[in-house]
Amino acid sequence: MSNPIEGVNESVLVKNLGLVSYVPTFEAMQQFTINRDETSQDQIWLLEHHPVFTQGQAGKPEHMLAPGDIPVVQADRGGQVTYHGPGQFVAYVMIDIKRRKIGVRELVTALEESLVQVLARYDIQAYPKPDAPGVYVNEDKIASLGLRIKKGRSYHGLALNVDMDLSPFNRINPCGYQGLNMTQMADLCEQVELSNIQLQWLEQFGRLLALPMQIVDIVESKKSVSHSGIQS
């Protein structure tokens, strides 16, 4: 992590947005990134989305097999098409990686490794693939990644399948891979609670990149997370 800059809050502001529509959230994330400056506090948004397919910048229409009544939105992240829906943990990571001296590969690795560590708590043996971003369990995909870096600042992030309807993934070639099977935590373990998984992921991600967290809008109570753990 870089040396502190005068006037900059070095903690990351974490907001829990709940269940939200994709387009206004995407637009707000873009505007935050466009309008921020070198002193803006980094942010992470935790949320779920109403059902939506999103196409990445490299998205090919042939990977949209039968979207039906689920809307399709063109996004400006990397990657191909994916699905978001209730019961999926989404984290949008808006970090000034240039200011913090974090490389893009380092950020991607931290996103993947933090998910692997969270899943390990539930005795789920997961792993990333060097040639296919995301996190996998027995060759099935359980989490997707998609980022955009603009002027040294990241946005978009990750999506972890927790306890959701996976059937919409059958309407696409997930992430551009024909026949790729998707899985979720609820099919691999018992007693998954999305709010717990959010906090567990924040703890791991913050530890890997030495990012202190300032959490707001968590329903149970206000909490803070440092890279050494969670504090009430």
- Domain extent, residue 143, equals 12-231
Q: Quick one: DSSP state of residue 96?
A: B
Domain-embedded: residue 6: no
Are residues 163 and 188 in contact, defined by beta-carbon separation less than 8 angstroms? no
Residue 179 phi, psi (nearest 5) = 80, 5
| C-alpha torsion 186→191→192→193, nearest 10 | 140
Q: Where would I find the H helices in the chain?
A: 22-35, 97-100, 104-121, 194-209
Per residue in 74-88, pLDDT (tens digit) is 998 988 889 999 999
Domain-embedded: residue 155: yes
Domain-embedded: residue 63: yes
The domain that holds 42 is classified in CATH as: 3.30.930.10
Q: Does the active-site annotation cover 175? A: yes
C-alpha distances in Å from residue 19, one per residue of 25, 65, 68, 167: 11, 26, 22, 19
- Indicate the number of domains in the chain: 1
* Catalytic-role residue among 172, 175, 197, 213: 175
Per residue in 9-29, pLDDT (tens digit) is 789 999 999 999 999 999 999
Domain-embedded: residue 2: no
Per residue in 92-132, pLDDT (tens digit) is 999 999 999 999 999 999 999 999 999 999 999 999 998 88
